[in-house]
Structures are given as C-alpha cells and as structure tokens.
Amino acid sequence: MSITGLIAIIFTFGVAILAHEFGHFIFAKLLGVEVETFSIGMGKKVIKIKRGETTYCLSAIPFGGYVVLKGAISKEMEAQLRENEEKAKEKKEGEKDKKSLPEMVSDDILSLRSKPLPVKVAIYASGVFMNFVVAIITFTAIMVIGMDVPVPKPPIVGFVAPATIPEQMGIKQGDRVKTVNGKPVKNFNEIYERLEGLIDTKATTFTITFARGEKTFNVGVPLNIKSQKFLGFISNFHPPLSPYIEDVIYNQPADRANIMPGDYVLEVNDKPINDWMQMAETIRSSVGKPVRLKIRRGNQYLFKVVTPVSRPEEPEVGQLGIISGEPEKIVKRLSVGKAVGESFTISYHIMGFVVVNTYKLFARFNVREIGDNMGGPVAIAIESYRQAKSGLRNYFYFFGAFNIMLLMLNILPLPILDGGHILFSTIESVFRKSIPAKALLHIYSIMIIILIALALLVTYNDIVQNFWRLGFP
C-alpha cells in the first residue's frame, strides 16, 4: 500500500470522526455543559493537558477522537447513577449529604440531565451537524477550485440499439438534432435542458427536428414522465459515448477482473466497438455468460474475461460494475455562492439515494444481495484507497459523501447513537420523568452487544468479500 493510500484512509476516518466529536465539544462549551475530556485520537493517552474543567488529550491511535460530557448518558455514567441510587436508599433519614451546597448547585448547572430539551438536542445533534458542515465545505471547495466535466457533445445521435423506441421512430446513429420544439440546440446537453423546461411548463408533447444529410424530419414524443414511450425514448437516446471507463464499482465483476478507471474498451467478444452503448447492449444480455473484452490501458493492450451479474432490480439485465465517462474534460468552476447551493443539492441527493436504495435493498430481502452491499471499516478503507489513487477530486468527493453517510448513521434513533440520545431525552421531557438508570443501563448494555456483533459481522463480511484481493478464489 502506498503512503498516499495510507494517509487517505487515516484522513477519511480521522477527520470525519474528529469533526463529529468536535461538534459535541464546541456546542457543549457554548451551552454551559462541562466537558470532562476531549481527545484527538483513540486508545492510550500520550499527552494530557488540563485547562479548566477539561482534560485535552492526544491519544495513540490516530483515528478520530472522543468527548466525555459531564452528565451525558453513557454506560459508565449510568453505572455510577445506579450506584448512587442504591446508596441513596441506604442513607438514614436526615443524614447530611457529604457535598456542600455550592458543589450541589454547580453539579446541577453543569449536569446535562438538568438542561432543557432544546439544549440536549442541540448538543447531541451537533456531531452530525458538524459532519454536514464538513461535507458542504468539501463539496464547495471542489466546485470553487474546479471540477473536471466532459466537453459538451455536439447534438449528434450515438449508437441506437435495435428494438428500442428511438429505433422504432426511425432515428439512426449519426442523425443531427436541429431543433427542440422549434428552438435550435448547440449541444446535446441543451436537448435535455429543453426537455426539463418543457416538463416544468406542463406541456404534453415535444417535437425534435432531425437532419440526415440533406433531408430533415420530425419526431414527436409524449411529454409524460410516466409514459413507457417517453421513458423508452430518454433511456436510449444518447450522443456518441466513448467506451471509456470513468470508474469501477467496488467489488463488482470489473473490479475483481482488475479493470481500472481510465481503461478504454476496444472490443467486446472480438467485435470492435466505438460507442459505450454497443458494449452495454452485449453486457446487459449476457447474465452469467463470460464476456471477452479487449482493453487499452495507456500503451498496453489487455484481454479480460468477465462474467456479468444480474441487476438486483432487473434480474434479466447484466452488469459489470463500470461507469461511463469521457476522456476529454474541461475545468468548470463555480462562484462560492453557487457552489454552496450546489453542495446542499448534492448532499440531499446523496441522502435520498441512500434512503431509497437501502429501502429497496431490504424490501427485496435477498440475503446474498444484502451481504454484497454491506460494508464496514474494511470496505471504507479500501474505497478510500481506491479513490485516492484515482485523483484528489474523486477522493474528496468520496470523503464528503462519507460524512453524509456518517451523519445518517448517527442520527438513527438507536441507543448509543446520537439519535438514540435525542429519543430518550425527548421521552424524558414529554413524560417529565427521568428514565431509571438501571433500565438505561440494561438498554445500553444490550445495544452495545448488538452493535459489537454487527460490527464483527460486517468486518467478517468485508474480509470474505475481499479475499480475492489477496489472491484467494
């Protein structure tokens, strides 16, 4: 493993988790809750400095960090609470408390449990809030510094697969789009932009004028996003697409065959191709059947035999786990204001993607598919390494997305997680009664066991899924 890859792995885990814990730390300080410990890193404390009520630590393992809040609902504190409750029962009536009044008042002020619900929610949610801030800053920086985007394609039709809606409409490869609803277009992106604009106007149809040599002809398509004709047209209507692999999906057949981002596919089953969609047509119809690819990688020519697997949502359609792209790029930069706005859009799209696809995954309830899509620390480390090798922009986009996913995990209303703390605090506030320490201790103990078991299962799954990287079948 390269030094760059190792730094990428440490940075991914370390900065994301440290940012999360720093959120808890800074909000606790601002809202008057005592912070007993703030540690950069995990494990044994190497350096300790006490400032006021807080001990600042630098710990041995450079992954993330942690915060200990006074009065936070943790396993250790709940054990102490239970012990205190038992001692209180044993006290004789009228016995004086060992603590002075000032100490009791101080503890009451600084105790998190004595704080109103909004303060508790703010502190518990501050970690995920900070992960969101890190994601927004990361995405914004990428777009302000500049993103590599494909050079706009001329409005010329690429490969048209047989028996598709465009082919049935008489559209052929090489046809040039002149106008959409009478308005000229300069590149293929403008065609999609016009269609989006027409959808917003609630138009019912659109007309595209094509040129083929000296001849022109019109094609009308119903403008209904639920129409099979519209969907069949849009999904098969493309400009010429280079058979260039922009990215390879983790642990899919292409990844296992050592196909890499930047590879060009020159032949599929010994037949030359010049358009991505030509290759896609063969792959989609070859579930479980080996496909022979001729690839150009720099000055090398390689042959790979890869077997497409079925798509979970479409078992009859094959996939290799490769993402198309264009080798010719231009740098696109946004102003800070536009970049921030776009960063929010990207973050919400990632959240929506995770929610929708997780729901679909568990709705299908295919145990093997769930296992294939379950990733833990090993999977995240491998993906950090892969993205770092492919370039800084790709890596930081992954890092931003990882912060969004960490946010979504921690906000789940499960004990131990921030969402669970918020849930219990809300219950206590609604019923105006603290949950008994003994009950909380049992709940948290059980949840810790479940989380440890799940972590071990996911890590085991990661290792099994990646045995092939070590040369095992």
What was the pLDDT predicted at 71? Answer: 57
138 shares its domain with 51? yes
What was the pLDDT predicted at 375? Answer: 64
* Final residue in a domain of this structure, among 304, 327, 350: 327
pTM of the predicted structure, to 2 decimals: 0.72
35 shares its domain with 118? yes
Q: What is the SS3 assignment for 148? A: strand
Asked whether residue 393 is assigned to any structural domain, the reply reads no
88 shares its domain with 133? yes
CATH number of the domain encompassing residue 186:
2.30.42.10
* Final residue in a domain of this structure, among 327, 358, 378: 327
Asked whether residue 391 is assigned to any structural domain, the reply reads no
What was the pLDDT predicted at 286? Answer: 92
* Final residue in a domain of this structure, among 270, 305, 327: 327
What was the pLDDT predicted at 99? Answer: 44
To the nearest 10 degrees (0 to 180), the angle between helices 3-30 and 377-390 is 120
Residue ranges for the chain with pLDDT beneath 70: 1-2, 42, 62-64, 71-113, 200, 361, 364-378, 437, 461-462, 464-473
Q: Measuring CA to CA, which residue among 56, 72, 165, 67 is closest to residue 110?
A: 72
What was the pLDDT predicted at 100? Answer: 41
What was the pLDDT predicted at 211? Answer: 93
DSSP string, 163-184: TSHHHHTT--TT-EEEEETTEE
H helix count then E strand count, the chain: 15, 16
252 shares its domain with 135? no
Number of independent structural domains in the chain: 3
Distance CA 125, CA 419 (A): 8
Whether residue 210 contacts residue 201, with contact meaning beta carbons closer than 8 Å, is answered with: no
Asked whether residue 334 is assigned to any structural domain, the reply reads no
To the nearest 10 degrees (0 to 180), the angle between helices 75-90 and 437-465 is 160
219 shares its domain with 264? no
Asked whether residue 152 is assigned to any structural domain, the reply reads no
Q: What is the span of the domain harbouring residue 209?
A: 165-234
What was the pLDDT predicted at 467? Answer: 58
Asked whether residue 296 is assigned to any structural domain, the reply reads yes
Asked whether residue 465 is assigned to any structural domain, the reply reads yes
What was the pLDDT predicted at 89? Answer: 55
42 shares its domain with 134? yes
